[in-house]
Amino acid sequence: MRLSFKVCSFALLLVGIMFSSTSAEPRRNSENSRMNVLFIISDDLTATALSCYGNKYCQTPNIDRLAARGTRFTNSYCNATYCGPSRASFLTGYYPHATGVLGYNSPRPAIGDRETWPQMFKNAGYYSARVSKIYHMGVPGGIEYGGDGRDHNNYNGADDEASWTERFNSPGPEWKAEGKGETLEGNPDGKKPVVGGNTFVVVEAEGDDLVHSDGKTAAKAVELIEQHADKPFFLAVGFVRPHVPFVAPKNYFEPFLPYDNNELPPKIPGDWDDIPVPGINYKTSKNMKMDLRRQKKAVGGYYAAVSYMDAQVGKVLDALEKSGQADNTIVIFTSDHGYHLGEHDFWAKVSLHDESSQVPLIISVPGKQPAVCDSLVELIDLFPTTAQLCGFNIPNRIQGKDISPLLDDPSLEVREEAFCVAPMRKGFLLRDNNWAFLSYNEDGSKGIELYDVQKDPHHYTNVANDPNMANVVAKYQQKLTRKLKSIRENDLN
């Protein structure tokens, strides 16, 4: 009796110590729980541009070698199809319709003093740093400015100071880089000079990798890995390519010349006839006035930018190897959303089709077997997953799922459907293994798209108006209502 009382007291004391642990010491539940996190994110990168995801023309040997040692997810979705809300979502652990961050603001006012993903590591004693764009920054505007994102949110930017021990910007010349440039968008007579902004511009640049933002980002990341190898770190490395402008040192363009050799996706007659108005993307071959030559050059320019970004990823991975910390570091590679390269004659992001809503996702954890996982996962899962892997208590309030079990058994499934939004179009996506359900307005009043993804993987035939599909449409409409209700039931008031 006396002994068990003592055991109980001791256990209570232990529990007390665990729960009273201060910010000096990471909360741990196993011996290897002080693993570092190296989070690498590219901007506007579609998985289809990577050779490890099957691209035959654009070679990405560095991302491929990470994929070869990690788990590559084939059905990974972002939670919003453009930078601002996507990044605010996975960095806070809340869906966009929980925080209300549907544009380019900092999520901090919405979350109060709750910890963000990097902040959880920082508060536990990790060195937490970002290099370049992690929360939203305008590209190219913000990068020309100084890479600090001050071009948004009344010049306060969308970054969150409390997330980081240190933060570093990577200004670059972007579209002003010296070299051979052409504006492809809105320039049918070819008279427009090279311009800035969110515009399709290709620049085959003079000079080396370090002229540009991503070269500087890689160099800073390499330096930080060397400096901080002896203590736990959460290092977030944000590359801005292949976001427009498609600018890179000219040697990266060589495999994609002449541009006329680049292939375009098939053009389907009447492809737009069954797409509701908000489903026609904000950038199309038509409204961008891009003829076939320009479209093929856009693909080549995008691939060159991807190749350049991949080379920078390689430098960071090499530095991790050299530091001796590779066996103690979780490495994640992803993008904030995908990108259209001419599918449906759509370009860029915002659309809720797979090209824009799917993201590449590779998670490499020391000691785990390489794998390919087809489970539906979301970027919002990264916060709870790394929390689990590093021995933190997963905060109950956050809305993603711990997908770490998939790293041991890739045949597992963690959710019935992926959820993603395009607030600019009041668009909502529910995507499962059978259907892609796209609703404009929560009640579908601005249109619905429904694709049988088994029979129609490229989403050419919208069957939402087929009378035989009424039950399916009704089922997904109900699922969407329930999903939004569950997202809005949160601790943010």
| CB of 386 vs Ca ion, minimal distance in Å | 21
Provide long-range contacts, Cβ within 8 A and 24+ apart, for 164-169. Answer: 164/118, 164/122, 164/128, 164/129, 164/130, 165/122, 165/126, 165/127, 165/128, 165/129, 166/127, 166/129, 167/129, 167/130, 167/131, 168/129, 168/130, 168/131, 168/132, 168/220, 168/224, 169/132
- Nearer of residues 114 and 349 to Ca ion, judged by Cβ: 349
Distances (CA, A) of 92 to 67, 87, 161, 346: 26, 8, 13, 30
- Nearer of residues 336 and 378 to Ca ion, judged by Cβ: 336
| CB of 149 vs Ca ion, minimal distance in Å | 13
Report phi then psi at 466, rounded to 5: -70, 120
Q: Applying CB under 5 A, what is the total number of residues that bind Ca ion?
A: 4
Query: Two tokens at 236?
Result: 């977030």
- Nearer of residues 204 and 336 to Ca ion, judged by Cβ: 336
Radius of gyration of the chain from its Cα atoms, rounded to whole angstroms:
23
Q: Within 13 Å, how many C-alpha atoms sit on residue 431's CB side?
A: 27
| CB of 117 vs Ca ion, minimal distance in Å | 18
- Nearer of residues 151 and 336 to Ca ion, judged by Cβ: 336
Q: Are strands 329-335 and 347-348 parallel, antiparallel or unpaired?
A: unpaired
Contact 429, 398 (CB under 8 A): no
Rounded to the nearest 5 degrees, what angle is found at the Cα of 237, between the Cα atoms of 93 and 113?
35
**Three-state DSSP class for residue 392:** coil
Sign for the pseudo-dihedral over CA of 394, 396, 397, 400: positive
Residue nearest to Ca ion (CB): 83
Residue 179's region, left for phi above 0, alpha for psi from -120 to 50, else beta, is left
Write the DSSP string, 393-447: PPPTT--S---HHHHH-TT----S-EEEEEGGGTEEEEE-SSEEEEEESTTSTT-
| CB of 195 vs Ca ion, minimal distance in Å | 19
Catalytic residues: 83, 136
For 23, residues 6+ apart whose C-beta sits below 8 A from its C-beta are 123, 124, 125
Report 436-465 residues binding Ca ion (CB under 5 A): none
| CB of 39 vs Ca ion, minimal distance in Å | 15
Contact 376, 413 (CB under 8 A): yes
Contact 177, 147 (CB under 8 A): no
Report 62-121 residues binding Ca ion (CB under 5 A): 83
Binding characters for Ca ion, 30-49, by CB under 5 A (x = yes): -------------xx-----
| CB of 141 vs Ca ion, minimal distance in Å | 13
| CB of 333 vs Ca ion, minimal distance in Å | 15
- Nearer of residues 63 and 448 to Ca ion, judged by Cβ: 63
Strand partners, 452: 435
- Nearer of residues 50 and 469 to Ca ion, judged by Cβ: 50
379 binds Ca ion (CB under 5 A): no
Rounded to the nearest 5 degrees, what angle is found at the Cα of 339, between the Cα atoms of 335 and 341?
140
Binding characters for Ca ion, 326-365, by CB under 5 A (x = yes): ----------x-----------------------------
If you ran DSSP here, which 8-state letter would residue 346 be given?
A: B
* Selection from 472, 481, 483, 471 nearest residue 435 by Cα: 472
- Nearer of residues 83 and 111 to Ca ion, judged by Cβ: 83
Write the DSSP string, 360-390: -EEEE-TTPPPEEEEEEEEGGGHHHHHHHHT
- Nearer of residues 91 and 124 to Ca ion, judged by Cβ: 91
| CB of 143 vs Ca ion, minimal distance in Å | 12
Q: How far apart are CA 240 and CA 74, in angstroms?
A: 23
- Nearer of residues 83 and 247 to Ca ion, judged by Cβ: 83
| CB of 78 vs Ca ion, minimal distance in Å | 9
Residues that bind Ca ion (CB under 5 A): 43-44, 83, 336
